[in-house]
Amino acid sequence: MFLREERIAILILLCTTAAILFVYAAIELQGRQVYATEFDLTAPDGTLVRLSGIADRVVTTREGGHLIMNVNSVRVFVPASAAPREDVRQGDRVSLYGVVQTYQGRKEVMVSSARDIVILSPSAQS
């Protein structure tokens, strides 16, 4: 059997683990959106941002199948692994969350998950 001090240490570890799991679950239920700020060209790399607007340009790269779009003239990079479930078309009104990064000297938003892109209203062309 365990000594009294060992039982207390195990109890503390279990309580700490339970508290961490509870906080993690609460954050996951809220979603990343709660912690995102509105995109700004002065935002430092690594900042979680939200961006909404019209998809001015939507192209798929020849190599890798990544999606590159401009939303309100801001470049958005969507890796093939995070491609949205629905096709985003030019003229669609979208809302998305991603991390700011600098690519070839320009700020862009990199989306990491398909669920971080929502098509608010499809374009009239769809």
The pLDDT tens digits for 48-65 are: 999 999 999 999 888 888
Higher pLDDT, 37 or 30: 37
Task: Give the pLDDT band (50/70/90) at residue 86.
Answer: confident
pTM of the model: 0.73
Architecture of domain 36-121: Beta Barrel (2.40)
3-state secondary structure 24-81: HHHHHHHCHHHHCEECCCCCCCCCEEEEEEEEEEEEECCCCCCEEEEECCEEEEECHH
> Ramachandran region of residue 27, left (φ > 0), alpha (ψ -120 to 50) or beta?
alpha
Q: What is the mean pLDDT of residues 20-39?
A: 85
Structure confidence at residue 85 as a pLDDT band (50, 70, 90): low
List, for residues 90-104, the tens digit of each pLDDT value: 999 999 999 999 999
